[in-house]
Structure formats: C-alpha cells, structure tokens
Structure 1
Amino acid sequence: MEIIRFGRTDAKKILAFGSRRSASVPLASGSGNAHAYCIYFRPGGMIGPHVAGFDQLFLVVSGRGWVSGRDGKRFALRAGQGAIFRRGEMHSKGSRTGMTAMMFQVTRLRRRARRVR
C-alpha cells in the first residue's frame, strides 16, 4: 500500500489556456494513456477554453463551479456532480466561489453514471 498526499499545498499552478487562480496535483498515470488529477479552483479560478486531448471525467468533490462546451454556455455543477468531455471537444471549467474537483483522462471512457443532461 502507498499513502499519497494531494492537498492544496502540493498543487502546481495551471498556466496554460489562459487559466487563472487554478492548480492541480497529478495523482497517477498508467498504461494506455491514463491520468488522474486533483484540481483546486480558488474563487474566480478557471481553466480556459481548450481542446480535450483525451476523454475526460471531471467530478466536483467540494464547492461549486461550472463547465462549458464549444458553445461557451456554462452549466453549474456542485459536489456530487460532474461532466464528461470527449477527446477533441472544446471546453473550459471554473468557479466563482471556489471548487475542488477530480479529473480523470483516458484514451477511451465509457460512462456508467446516470446522465442528467
């Protein structure tokens, strides 16, 4: 067994895509291009619009925020909710009040959770 840390103090700023007030902790990688991150958004933080390089599962674990697709329309998310972005999909995410999220990127993702939109 390995015990890991992924607190805010372990996070590094996200500088790409015009992002601000956001940071992430890489959690794991595996074979087949799989990556896991814990992402912290301070109030007003965001990861700017960019194309997803992988299928992506984005899960809010605390706070509230938003996600948007290629049309830029924002959808509100809170703890217990998430979004799936497909490889090649333009998207962004952020929070007005602060949010912590887990993000998993894989070559091919199959949704198993209940879809609400």
Structure 2
Amino acid sequence: MKIYQFNKEAGKRVTKFDSDFVMSRITQTQNSAHVGCIYLEAGGVIGFHEAVLPQLLLVVAGEGWVRGDSNEYIKIQKGQAAFWNKGEWHETKTPNGLTAIVIESEELNVSSMKAL
C-alpha cells in the first residue's frame, strides 16, 4: 500500500489565460484521460479559454459561477458538476473559494449523471 496526497500543497499554481489557481493532478490513464483537483481561493478564476478536450468539473467544496460560450453565469455548488464539450469556451470563478475535481478525456461520457 502507498499513501498519496492531492491537497493544495501538492499542486502547482496556474496563471495561463489570466487564471490564478492551484491544480493537483491526480492520474492519467492510457486512454488519455486526465483527472485533477483544482483549488480556487476566494476571488479565484479559471480564465475564459477553449476546452482542449471534453471536460467535467465536479465541485467537492465551496461554490462559484461557471459559463460556457455565452456571457450567462450559472451558480454551481458542492455536489454539482459542469460539463463542456471539446472546443467550447468556458470560465469558472468563485467569490469565497471552491475545490473541484476535473476530468478531461476524448472519451468522457456523462450520460449516467443526473442532469439538473
């Protein structure tokens, strides 16, 4: 057995796209799936950019706002997830802080999730 950590201290600061957040990568499969944990502090933002792959953002703590190609922000909180297709422009921001697991993969299938 091995014990691993994916807390904020294990992550790296990301500043691309005018972003300011810490991301801890968790795993990468042979099928080109990426799973990571994002820590957005109060006032944090994942800047508006194009999704390189289909992407699922699962909020595990806190709350914030997400948007896709439109300028309409939608509130998101613990226990909810946002999905963006490959090529879709998107942004995430939070006034008080947010922690989320992010999964990116060409083969990402969210059909088993319950839609709001």
TM-score norm. by structure 1 comes to 0.93
**CA displacement at 1:82 relative to structure 2:** 0.8
Structural mapping, 1:57-68, within 5 Å: 57-68=56-67
CA RMSD of aligned residues (A): 1.0
**CA displacement at 1:66 relative to structure 2:** 1.3
> Partners in 2 of 1:100 and 1:40 — Cα distance?
5
- Unaligned residue ranges in structure 1 (runs of 5+): none
**CA displacement at 1:88 relative to structure 2:** 0.6
**CA displacement at 1:2 relative to structure 2:** 3.5
Describe the superposition over 1:61-88 as per-residue Cα deviations: whole angstroms up to 9, x where unpaired. Answer: 0011111101121111110001111111
Within the alignment, does 1:115 sit opposite 2:87 as a pair?
Answer: no
Describe the superposition over 1:35-82 as per-residue Cα deviations: whole angstroms up to 9, x where unpaired. Answer: 011000000000111110111111000011111101121111110001
TM-score norm. by structure 2 comes to 0.94
**Which secondary structure state, in structure 2, belongs to the residue aligned with residue 114 of structure 1?**
coil
Number of corresponding residues: 115
**CA displacement at 1:109 relative to structure 2:** 1.6
Structure 1 stretches of 4+ moved >3 Å: none
The corresponding residue for 2:44 is: 45
Query: For the Cα contact (< 8 Å) 1:54–1:108, is it kept in 2?
Result: no
Amino acid at match of 1:7: N
**CA displacement at 1:94 relative to structure 2:** 1.6
Query: For the Cα contact (< 8 Å) 1:50–1:91, is it kept in 2?
Result: yes
- Unaligned residue ranges in structure 2 (runs of 5+): none
Describe the superposition over 1:4-41 as per-residue Cα deviations: whole angstroms up to 9, x where unpaired. Answer: 20111111111111102x11001100112110110000
> Partners in 1 of 2:33 and 2:19 — Cα distance?
23
> Partners in 2 of 1:48 and 1:73 — Cα distance?
15
The corresponding residue for 2:19 is: 19
